[in-house]
A and B are shown apart, each in its own frame.
Chain A
């Protein structure tokens, strides 16, 4: 075997991050994305958009719980998951600002807290919980505003840091570009908008809110298209490692199914009929976002020379 000429990242070992981590990247993205969309709607939308914001909070909290569980189960020693947060020998907090995984663990924990409060407030708002004091956890109450702003910032962080985490390694593809965080963040926004559209499009009185979300999703998809092309360009000659089934999946699954066709459906809803265009586009965006993570994670896992 002749390894001369291979890039340095090929001499590293794969961490065996597979489906649990892919699932986390996807669901964590939805948690963050749905939350920040809900906050944006709460802060800038009208009263009519309220139900949509609530839906965002209803998705975000369970999704962040599932995210945490996926991460813990993926550890080889799940019983020691708390070592990420507390130094096991001293009992002091464990935080390394320059380690994305360390920072991410804290972000996920804190975000989970904010998502929980917003979740409670949304339940109260929807009339499920009858405890009026919970209203303070949502805007316009000042406490609710602070929760929204801090939780929203953390939501963006949770949605994007996973790509940065992959870049801060020495693995092929992951560490050969600095655009994975950006791509994951944008994809979190588009998949979250798609999920909310999918869950909300059947109720006619949500129509205008969903329409606003569709406009947003279209813009984000265009951004995603640009970011994806930039990602491939930033890989330079490394992009050749995608000249295989992974590359095909990227082009067909992520690029065509996940971005281009949904954009066409938004632009020409008559192609599938008014009734089916929006949900079909939303499903495709979700599938594309999932496949993006599948390709990025698994295509790198299989690369490298024995050493």
Chain B
């Protein structure tokens, strides 16, 4: 396997230009939604709103304003599939459409997917959606086709501020640690890395530098693997099956005798009636 590749997204330098979103759409030939008609979210300057089958990069606008709007700040974050080292989507996929590539990224093969949507429910980050054109589940491929050709993914190439950095995970981690150190030094004590270490799903191959709680950016504070529930759920169900089986046996055993008695009752009743 080649060296694991990924993204380090430094949200502090994102300016919300959405060049990455556009570059992603262009390269991956993702159509516009609603037939191209402008649709406004109505409560934000961001009108994309979420990652889904047609949006594999999404620049989130977190607009934190005081009620009188005298004070405020913008948090901007270009969100994307986390290419989890332990990927929930891949774990549940029943067709084998979701695979791990030689670059340690996670890719959905659109020609294999049959649209069961189990991966949508399994992804801890709400990344995957159905692409209404192919009717299959889709998400960021980390530009698998470009990687194979030795090129950089479209989004990081387009990013004008280097908020999105592409490279080997080892290099990215070094770069990220240095950036956190720099921010701390300059007084931004809130800066920290989300998903860089292995505690989170074995590590996210696409990790982030944040300056507020994960939830503020729409990220789960404690993402988990779906399979955590597999063994206990199965054991409880098995126990239930045994109890129900015993109840069934208890209700129907010796039925020869009971039934005969009931039938005799019947005959008796009809005779006396």
Residues of A at the B interface (CB closer than 8 Å) are 3-6, 8-17, 36-37, 40-41, 44-49, 74-78, 80-81, 83-84, 87-89, 94, 96, 98-102, 105, 156, 160-161, 163-165, 167-171, 174-175, 178-182, 185-186, 189, 204, 207-209, 211-213, 215-216, 219-220, 223, 227, 304-307
Residue of B nearest to A175 (CB): B229
Indicate if B142 sits at the interface (CB-CB under 8 A).
Answer: no
Given contacts A11-B126, A11-B218, A182-B233, 11 further A-B contacts (CB under 8 A): A8-B223, A12-B126, A16-B117, A76-B136, A83-B112, A88-B111, A164-B237, A168-B226, A170-B224, A185-B241, A306-B218
Is A170 a contact of B121 with CB atoms below 8 Å? Answer: yes
Collect the chain B residues with CB atoms within 8 Å of residue A220's CB.
244, 247
From B50, B116, B240, B253, contact of A101 by CB (8 A): B116
Collect the chain B residues with CB atoms within 8 Å of residue A216's CB.
247-248, 251-252
A185 to B239, CA, bound (A): 10
Collect the chain B residues with CB atoms within 8 Å of residue A40's CB.
245, 248-249, 252
Shortest CB-to-CB span from A99 to chain B, Å, is: 5
Contact segment of B90-98, B157-165, B168-176: B90-98
With A11-B218, A101-B116, A207-B266 known to touch, is A307 a contact of B121 (CB < 8 Å)? no
Residue of A nearest to B51 (CB): A307
Which of A47, A74, A208 gathers the greatest number of chain B CB atoms within 10 Å?
A208
A307 to B224, CA, bound (A): 17
Collect the chain B residues with CB atoms within 8 Å of residue A14's CB.
120-121
Residue of A nearest to B58 (CB): A307
Collect the chain B residues with CB atoms within 8 Å of residue A48's CB.
255-256, 259-260, 263
| Size of interface on B: residues with Cβ below 8 Å to A | 77
Is B215 a contact of A5 with CB atoms below 8 Å? Answer: yes
Indicate if B6 sits at the interface (CB-CB under 8 A).
Answer: no
Residues of B at the A interface (CB closer than 8 Å) are 49-52, 60, 79, 88, 91-97, 111-118, 120-130, 135-136, 213, 215-216, 218-224, 226-227, 229-230, 232-234, 236-237, 239-241, 243-245, 247-260, 262-263, 266
Is B252 a contact of A45 with CB atoms below 8 Å? Answer: yes
Collect the chain B residues with CB atoms within 8 Å of residue A163's CB.
233, 237
With A11-B124, A101-B116, A307-B125 known to touch, is A77 a contact of B93 (CB < 8 Å)? no
